[in-house]
Amino acid sequence: MAPIIIALGSARAAKIMAVRAACARIASVEAAWGRVELVARPVETSIPAMPLTDSHLMRGASERAVAVRELLKSEGQRADFYVGLEGGFHSITIDGQRHTFLRGWAYVSNGERGYFGAAPSVSVPLEIVQRVERTGRELGEVIDEIAGEHDVRSRQGAWGILSRDLLTRSMSFETALLAAFAPFYNARVYD
């Protein structure tokens, strides 16, 4: 049986780990997913470097999937699935109080149809939100300062810092991917 080829619109370690983990979980219920080959390519999007809304996050995820598809096409390659992952903030006001969450979105396309999946959300402390919004810097830079570490985003991410590593960046994206891939690995329910 030929392997399933998945193209990821990023070369970040946490995102690669998330795709591998999601595919392994899917393979446990769908035998056709036993052999997966991953092609990871960094791509650009039109959204801000630090997304601040679900609209930005969803657009960024879908743009990454489309961009990696176009990049592979220009290289004379193809994949069975094209994946985009985007993480950032989403704020909402409830009863007059603003809440900001760290959240991620996945978008998976087979080139004809595509689906979104969302990661869980974790509250972001007000001081962190204000530092990001006040300075216009990315969350990764602010988290590095708060944690006293370097390149946290490539390991546990802000998720790991906020949850004492009970949830990592990779784990959050894995959940989003399982949701986005559902119409493909569970087609009998979706068709």
3 has a pLDDT exceeding 80: yes
Distant-in-sequence contacts of 132-140, Cβ < 8 A, 24+ apart:
132/50, 132/89, 133/52, 136/50, 137/50, 138/49, 138/50, 139/50, 139/88, 139/89, 139/102
- Looking at domain 4-190, its CATH class is alpha beta
CA–CA gap between residue 88 and residue 32 (Å, rounded): 33
Q: What is the DSSP letter of 9?
A: S
Let me know: does 85 contact 171? Beta carbons within 8 Å.
no
Looking at residue 156, what is its pLDDT? 81
| 3-state DSSP assignment of residue 5 | strand
- Closest among 137, 171, 178, 186 to 14, alpha carbons compared: 171
Strand 36-40 and strand 122-123: the pairing is: unpaired
**How big is the chain, counted in residues?**
191
Q: CA-CA distance, 177 to 32, in Å (whole number)?
A: 17
Give the span between the Cα atoms of 2 and 78, in whole angstroms: 14
Query: For all residues of the chain together, what is the average pLDDT?
Result: 94
- Kindly list the domain boundaries of the chain, sorted by start residue: 4-190
- The residue assigned the tokens 């300075």 is 135
Is the whole model's pTM more than 0.85, yes or no? yes
Give the pLDDT confidence of 35-51 residue by residue, as tens digits. Answer: 999 999 999 999 998 99
Angle in degrees, CA 131, 106, 150, rounded to 5: 40
Predicted confidence at residue 151, as pLDDT, reads 84
Report the candidate in 160, 154, 80 with the shortest Cα–Cα distance to residue 114.
80
Give the tens place of pLDDT for each residue, 102-156: 999 999 999 999 999 999 999 999 999 999 999 988 898 998 998 888 888 777 8
Give yes or no for residue 22 having a pLDDT over 80. Answer: yes
**pLDDT for 95 beyond 80:** yes
Question: Can you say whether the dihedral through the CA atoms of 158, 161, 162, 166 is positive or negative?
Answer: positive
